[in-house]
Chains A and B, each alone.
Chain A
Amino acid sequence: EVVMTQSPATLSVSPGERATLSCRASQSVSSNLAWYQQKPGQAPRLLIYGASTRATGFPPRFSGSGSGTEFTLTISSLQSEDFAVYYCQQYNNWPPGAFGQGTKVEIK
């Protein structure tokens, strides 16, 4: 079973700054990786799929990269509405669709 590990657990960033979130897979998942954004009290929302394709409704300041075992989600200039928890999820070795434990992006 593939284990997904996200780092850091919490990222403190000032508005306008760049945020870089990492996700590591215990074995190669090719580019079969998704990212989700979850705000307090809301359901998760698909942000990125195929490691780098932005889902509908998300602006270009969100970008995903990586393949194999190492992946990165970058938010180029944080806006107030971007403070949330971000989860990665692999779908290469399915089921299960293993999630990482999440990275909370908070205001510094």
Chain B
Amino acid sequence: EVQLVESGGGLVQPGGSLRLSCAASGFTFSSYEMNWVRQAPGKGLEWVSYISSSGSTIYYADSVKGRFTISRDNAKNSLYLQMNSLRAEDTAVYYCAGEGSWFDPWGQGTLVTVSS
């Protein structure tokens, strides 16, 4: 069964840091381009970041550029998102999602709340 499982979310103060992880199983992770997509409470979907299958190509949304870092470890079938200088507007459910054009599969998401 194809599965993506995110972890690492939680409550963090403004200016703080958090590292999200996404564990993949049931498919050849090293062949998949991967993304992080977020959804603020009651809002729509926002693409956050992309990484190629090898990790050599990376893109970020302007809203997180310079603050977030995407990475992957193909030996561990894992995707990561290091989030620094967090702001209240970063509060959202963060999903990892596969592929580089349309997004499939998706994890169940992990909630990040930035609040004092």
Q: B104 near A87 (CB under 8 angstroms)?
A: no
Contacts of B102 in A (CB 8 A): 34, 46, 49, 89, 91, 97
Tell me the complex Cα distance, A94–B35, Å: 12
- Interface of B, helix, strand, loop or mixed by DSSP: loop
Contact of B45 among A46, A87, A91, A95 (CB under 8 A): A87
Q: A95 near B61 (CB under 8 angstroms)?
A: yes
Q: How large is the interface on B (under 10, 10 to 19, 20 to 34, 35 or more residues)?
A: 20 to 34
Give B99-116 interface residues, CB cut-off 8 Å to A: 100-109
Q: How large is the interface on A (under 10, 10 to 19, 20 to 34, 35 or more residues)?
A: 20 to 34
Contact of B47 among A42, A45, A49, A96 (CB under 8 A): A96
Give B4-26 interface residues, CB cut-off 8 Å to A: none
B-binding residues in A (CB < 8 A): 32, 34, 36, 42-46, 49, 55, 87, 89, 91, 94-102
A-binding residues in B (CB < 8 A): 35, 37, 44-47, 50, 59, 61, 95, 100-109
